[in-house]
Amino acid sequence: MSDIGSHVVGLIGRGIAASRSPRIHEDAGRGLQIPLAYRLVDFAALGLGDEELPRIVSLLRGIGFSGCNVTFPFKQAALALCDSLSSDAATLGAVNTLVFRDGTVRGENTDWVGFSWMIEREIGDVRGAMVAQVGAGGAGSATAYALAHKGVKELRLFDPDSNRSAELANRISTAFPECRLTVADDAAEAIAGAAGVVNATPIGMASLPGVPFDPALMHGDQWLADIIYFPLQTQLLSAAKANGQRVANGVSMVIGQAAEAFRHFTGLTPDREHMLARMLGVLDAEQHPGART
C-alpha cells in the first residue's frame, strides 16, 4: 500500500515544540535506509486557530506528505476529515494517525497498539486477569481497548468524572462483550483485588507532579503500568517499586505507537527494540544532563 521511497510526514497539534516524534521517526527511517523527514505543525507556534485543522490537513496532503500524526487537541476533530477509518479508530472515537493515499485520508489509532506492546513486553500475559485502571480520558480509551483486546476478564475503571468512566465502559463493552467493564466509585474500590493497575492519567508528568491515587492502596503482588514517560520514574512508580511491585513506564507505549504509525506511513516495519534503546538513551541524557551517555 506504500511506495517505498522518500517520505515526508509530521505531527499536528498545539504546543508540541518539545515533541520527540521527529527524532523517533527519522531514526527509524535511517535504520531502514529510507529518506524520511518529520515536521512539526504546531498550531500554537504558527498562531493558528483550531478551526484551521481541515485546511492544514488538506494542505499537507496536497504538498505530498505521506501522512501525519495527530495529538492534542485534534484526535477527535480529525475523525471528520477521514474518508475511511480503521475499526479500532472508529471504536475509540479518536485518530492519532492520518495516512494519505491516492487523494484520500485514512484514520488510524496506534495508541492502543503501543500500550498493547508495553503490556506484552513489560508485564506479560494478562488474559483472564482483573485489572484496575485510573483515568478514562483519551489515553484511557486506548489503554482500556488494549487490555480488553489482550483478553482481560474484568476491567475496573475509576475517573473523577464518573460519566466519562461509564461512557468508556459502554464503548469497550460493545466491542469486547467477553470483558466485564465496571465503574468504581473511587480508586480504592477499583484497585482492591486487582492483578495489576494502570495509571492512564497525566498526573505524575514533569509538568503535573504528584500521584493520581494513594500508592498505599496497592500491594506487592500487583503490577503497575504508568503511561507517563517523562520523567522515566514518576512518584507513583517509585513508590510501587519500593513496595516490591513489578512496574513499567510509558516509554515502550510511545515507541510502540510510533512504530505502528511508521508502518502505516511507509509500508515498512521498523525495529521497535532498537527504537526503544535509542529513546531511552535520549531520555536519560535529558533527565541527567551532567551524566556521560
DSSP annotation string for the chain? ----S-EEEEEEESS-TT--HHHHHHHHHHHTT--EEEEEEEHHHHT--GGGHHHHHHHHHHTT--EEEE-TT-TTGGGGG-SEE-HHHHHHT--SEEEEETTEEEEE--HHHHHHHHIIIII---TT-EEEEE--SHHHHHHHHHHHHTT-SEEEEE-SSHHHHHHHHHHHHHH-TTSEEEE-SSHHHHHTT-SEEEE-SSTTBTTB-S-SS-GGGS-TTSEEEE---SSSS-HHHHHHHHTT--EE-THHHHHHHHHHHHHHHHS----HHHHHHHHHHHHHHHHSTTS--
Cβ proximity of 221 and 194 under 8 Å: no
**Residue whose C-alpha cell reads 520514574 in the numeric block:** 233
Cβ proximity of 191 and 217 under 8 Å: yes
Which of 75, 150, 153, 241 is catalytic? The answer is 75
Active site residue 153: no
Which residues are known catalytic residues?
A: 75
